[in-house]
């Protein structure tokens, strides 16, 4: 038994959980407890179990976690390095509760009293979970601000979102999906957002990444082999029906392949494509 425990200790130490770099985070007003620990992709299962799957699908690299306390609150603070800002943005937007009020801190942040704060900055996604005491709004706000100050990098939207037209976009609706956008196996690597059309109806628009011409050609051919084709001002539009959400269609543009979803019929699809590609 002792041997087994020793083996486990050695294996875990070697494989998954390494000492974090000195000076992991200095958070004003909060005291660290113990040593920070860093987990790689293999060790992430040990930290968050089956929840690791979705992080790994978004390009997770490492997470460093440490406990901090202030007053009667003790919380674990986990800093996920997602490799690039777009990946961090994707996982943040999945995990952030939709009903939580966003804070103007970092790239984005939310406080969900009484137990959790989430924030995004550059390639880092940070998750704060209280396990003693409660994180109220004021405590959460100041803690998030302190973490944002302590993290390196830029607090700006990932540059890939520049491919999405801004005119008509619903604020805060942009997202990045690595695979199967709208439940369609053929739509991977998309940035997308909610828009309002000229008639006031809400719909989704997306751009397939990366936007270089060679990739766009491959993706277009793949879609063309499965989707139907119609004409829009002499240029081909590819489209298909999506269960429960109408038509989705794409057109080539300078930004690569741009598409719209949730169209009730072909006319609406073409109108929206016309609008979005003109924006």
Partner 1 sequence: MSRKKAPRASVSRRQFLFAGGAAAAASGLPGIARAAEEQEIPKIKRHRTLGRTGFEVSDISIGGGGKEANVYRYAYDHGINYFDTAEGYGNGASERRIGEALQHMDRKKVFITTKLELKDDETRQTVLDRFGKCQERLRTEYVDALYIHSAPSVAILDNAAFHGAVKQLKADARLRFAGVSNHGSFYPGDEENMEEVLVAAAEDGRFDLMLIAYNFMNRDKGDKVLAACKKNNVGTTAMKTAPGRVEMEPLDPENPSERYAKYIDSQVEAGEKREDVINEIQGFIAETEKTFADAKPFMETHGITDREGLRSAGAQWVLSNPDMHTICIGFKDFDTIDRFLPLSGTTMTRAQLLALDHYRVAASSLYCRHACTECSGACPQAVPVSTVMRYAYYFTEQAREKHAMSKYRGLGYGDALPCDSCNGPCAGKCPYGVNIKANLLAAHGLLTLA
Binding residues for partner 1, rule: CB under 8 A, are 4, 7-8, 10-12, 14-16, 40-42, 44-46, 48-51, 53-54, 56-57, 59-62, 94-98, 118, 127, 131, 165, 178-180, 182-185, 217, 220-222, 224-225, 229, 235-236, 238, 242-245, 251-255, 258, 276-279
Kindly state the smallest distance separating residue 169's Cβ from partner 1, in Å: 13
Within 8 A by CB and 6+ apart from 84, the residues are: 59, 123, 158
Q: To the nearest whole angstrom, how small is the minimum distance from the Cβ of residue 103 to partner 1?
A: 17
Minimum Å gap between C-beta 105 and partner 1 is 19
Q: Which is nearer to partner 1, 82 or 145 (CB)?
A: 82
Rounded CA-CA distance 108/63 in Å is 19
Nearer to partner 1, 121 or 127 (CB): 127
Pick between residue 200 and residue 244 the one whose CB is nearest to partner 1.
Answer: 244
Of 22 and 99, nearer to partner 1 (C-beta) is 99
* Beta carbon of residue 121, minimum distance to partner 1 (angstroms, whole number): 18
CB-based contact 143:149 (threshold 8 Å): no
Q: Which of 122, 52, 127 is nearest to 84 (CA)?
A: 122
Question: Shortest distance, CB of residue 32 to partner 1, whole angstroms?
Answer: 19
Pick from 83, 81, 85, 109: nearest CA to 95: 109
Q: Between 149 and 178, whose beta carbon lies closer to partner 1?
A: 178
Residue 86, phi-psi category: left (phi > 0), alpha (psi -120 to 50), beta (remainder): alpha
């Amino acid at each position: 038994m002792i041997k087994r425990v020793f083996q486990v200790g050695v294996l875990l130490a070697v494989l998954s959980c390494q000492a974090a770099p000195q000076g992991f985070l200095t958070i004003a007003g909060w005291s660290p407890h113990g040593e920070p620990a860093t987990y790689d992709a293999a060790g992430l299962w040990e930290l968050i179990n089956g929840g690791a799957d979705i992080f790994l699908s978004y390009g997770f690299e490492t997470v460093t976690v440490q406990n901090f306390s202030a007053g009667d609150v003790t919380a674990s603070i986990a800093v996920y390095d997602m490799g690039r800002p777009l990946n961090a943005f994707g996982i943040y937007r999945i995990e952030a509760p939709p009903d939580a009020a966003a804070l103007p801190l970092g790239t984005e942040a939310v406080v969900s009293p009484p137990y959790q704060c989430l924030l995004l900055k550059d390639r880092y996604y940070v998750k704060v979970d209280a396990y003693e005491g409660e994180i109220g709004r004021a405590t959460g706000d100041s803690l998030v601000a302190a973490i944002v100050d302590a993290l390196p990098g830029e607090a700006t939207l990932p540059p890939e979102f520049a491919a999405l037209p801004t005119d008509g976009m619903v604020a805060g609706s942009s997202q990045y999906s690595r695979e199967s956008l709208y439940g369609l196996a053929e739509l991977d690597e998309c940035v997308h957002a909610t828009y309002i059309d000229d008639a006031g109806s809400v719909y989704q628009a997306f751009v397939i990444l990366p936007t270089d011409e060679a990739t766009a050609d491959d993706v277009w051919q793949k879609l063309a082999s499965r989707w139907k084709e119609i004409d829009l001002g002499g240029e081909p539009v590819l489209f298909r029906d999506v269960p429960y959400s109408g038509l989705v269609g794409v057109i080539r543009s300078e930004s690569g392949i741009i598409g719209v979803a949730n169209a009730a019929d072909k006319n609406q699809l073409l109108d929206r494509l016309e609008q979005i590609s003109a924006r």
